[in-house]
Amino acid sequence: MAQITDILRLSFRDYSHEWRMSGCFILALSSVLAPMMILFGLKFGIVTTMVNELVENPANREIRPIGSGRYDDAWIDAYRNREEVEFIIPKTRALAATIQLKSDTSKRILSTELLATAPGDPLLSDISSVPQDYYQVILSQGAANKLNVKPGDQIDASLARQFDGKRERVHLFLTVMDIADATVTTRNVAFVNLDLLIATEQFKDGRQVPELGWAGNSDESARVYPSFRMYAKSIHDVQNLVAELEKTGARIKANVAEITTVKSIDQNLSVIYWIIACVGALGFSFSLGASLWANVDRKRKELSVLRLIGFKSGRIVLFPVLQSCYTALLGWLLAVLVYLAFEYLINFFLAPRLNLDQALCYLLTEHFLWALALTMVVAVSAAIMGGLRAAGIEPSDGLREI
């Protein structure tokens, strides 16, 4: 134990005494490691973000039937509970799902498409709460602009029908809860609670809606929807769901071709990245290993003196191993600092030009730790090999060189 403490002290004294040489080793290590980290950071920043955006874009995960079908609540609930389904909500007939909107701040009466929404709707993932009753609405950006409204404003919604030979129109005051992001849709859309969508269809079909005081024929039949809006949990689930739905006779539209392209891009980019990463890691390992090996060889004379004085061979191996650990740790630290500086510069100057919402270059804490572990393993392995070689030769061979 005493010898280990002495070796620890001696290796550190030698390392700090030769600070210029130690500094060169640290610089050499970090100049190989830092570019690798930047490459890795860019992969995560650009490739992962872009691929994730493609992979996670709700439009790529949307599954919708073409034409009319017959889907009851039980059918909808069954799919809602499926692991691979993120969100599903019924749609009513397209012609019955329109409403006229009018605001105090605009003269225009806007015919708007109604879409039912509920918590977890991928189209409204940026919005914290969705309409809970008949009187709330979230407008698409286009609709909000045309009506010149903002969240909190009230708008007049009206519906017209021909009933018992007379033309009727009902009004409803809706509160604008929020405005959806422009990327959600370019159409004039009002996202409402499913109850309001159903009520609209019932009114237009001449049925009564007691909750809103709209008169009409009574409706005893079970509710059946002609369509739905479904989103798979990931793009990898789309193909199976489409195939399953098509087996029931439904004609389904989904971005299967685009999904195949996205998956292919994801796979190809991953392969390219891993080739670069493996070649880089291999080069890094050889470069670091060779320089540390050379350092141990340079230290052979002094290691022989230590053996002459009486240090055991096993303890001698510890001397270069400890010095390699110092180099690995300090080199890694410098590489991290260099990387962080580049990360800041890249994200600050380049990301805005490319209109990317997310960082162009970033690494997770675990990536830094992996880099440290790789550096340590390579450094210690090279030093152990060099140290064993130094400890294996006769001390007299090393001493003759002093």
Instruction: Specify the residue, 258 or 302, whose C-beta has the smaller distance to another protein.
Output: 302
> Binding segment for another protein among 85-93, 143-151, 354-362, 388-396 (CB under 8 A)?
388-396
Task: Tell me, residue by residue from 341 to 380, as one string, x for binding to another protein by CB under 8 A and - for no binding.
Answer: ----------------------------------------
Decide whether 309 or 354 has the Cβ nearer to another protein.
Answer: 309
| Per CB under 8 A, 21 contacts another protein | no
Nearest approach, Cβ of residue 13 and another protein (Å): 5
Strand partners, 194: none
Taking CB under 8 A as the criterion, which residues in 287-316 touch another protein?
Answer: 302, 304-313
β-pairing verdict for 109-117 and 189-193: parallel
Are residues 137 and 190 in contact, defined by beta-carbon separation less than 8 angstroms?
yes
The bridge status of strand 71-72 relative to strand 224-225 is: antiparallel
Cα-Cα-Cα-Cα dihedral sign, residues 137, 141, 143, 148? positive
Quick check: 320 and 296 in contact, CB under 8 A? yes
Q: Does position 66 bind another protein by CB under 8 A?
A: no
Shortest separation between residue 310's beta carbon and another protein, angstroms: 3
Is the CB of residue 360 less than 8 Å from the CB of residue 350? yes
Q: Does 3 bind another protein (CB under 8 A)?
A: yes
Query: Is residue 333 close enough to count as binding another protein by CB under 8 A?
Result: no
111 CB neighbour count, 10 Å cutoff: 10
Q: Does 20 bind another protein (CB under 8 A)?
A: no
Q: How far apart are CA 270 and CA 43, in angstroms?
A: 9
Q: Which two tokens stand for residue 372?
A: 């440290």
Question: Is 24 an interacting residue with respect to another protein (CB under 8 A)?
Answer: no
- Identify the residue among 4, 13, 210, 211 touching another protein (CB under 8 A): 13
Task: In angstroms, give the least distance from the CB of 318 to another protein.
Answer: 14
Does 51 contact another protein by CB under 8 A? no
* CA distance linking residue 375 with residue 379, whole number of Å: 6
Q: Which stretch binds another protein (CB under 8 A): 6-14, 120-128, 262-270, 360-368?
A: 6-14
The gap from C-alpha 242 to its chain's centroid, in whole angstroms, comes to 25
Beta carbons within 8 Å of 194's beta carbon, 6+ residues apart: 89, 90, 116, 117, 118
Contact residues for another protein (CB under 8 A)?
2-3, 6, 10, 13-14, 16-18, 302, 304-313, 394-396, 399-400, 402
